[in-house]
Amino acid sequence: MATPGMLKPFRHPRRWLGLWLAAVTTVIVLSLVPPPPLPPLPSGSDKLEHFSAYFLLAAGAVQLFARPRVVCACGLALVLMGVALEFAQGAYTSTRMQDGWDAVANSIGVIAGIATVLTPWRDALLRWQRR
């Protein structure tokens, strides 16, 4: 669990942390269950989905955690999670396939999400919650 001072000073920090962990869990589950039937999409368009999901998870870490080391650790963990899930798709599912380019899209999403720490948006959730 988060130690004091690890999270930004929210009124309900555990709720926000729980929501972020639920989002991480959702990405894990959706990466391993059979994909829903979808209309035909352009080739490679799933890379935007991978980028977006990991961008949001990483940007969420920037919103939640106060310490730069924790944000960096979350970024590294998300990159490793994305790579591990690609291996798991190839090894443990018959309805998904391992794709190295998906891992690249995930990693770029994480980098872009972590980069929000350099913008005024880094405390958007904190400012919104204080209203």
pLDDT tens, residue by residue, 29-73:
999 999 878 777 788 788 999 999 999 999 999 999 999 999 999
Calpha distance 34→94 (Å, rounded): 8
Quick one: tokens of 10?
A: 């929210």
* pTM of structure: 0.91
Calpha distance 87→83 (Å, rounded): 7
- Please, how many CA atoms are within 13 Å of residue 53, restricted to the half-sphere of its CB? 24
Calpha distance 110→126 (Å, rounded): 21
pLDDT for residue 2: 58
CA distances from 1 to 4, 5, 26, 27 (A): 10, 12, 19, 20
Calpha distance 2→81 (Å, rounded): 20
Across 75-95, average pLDDT: 95
- Beta-bridge partners for 65: 7
Domain ranges within the chain, ordered by starting residue: 46-130
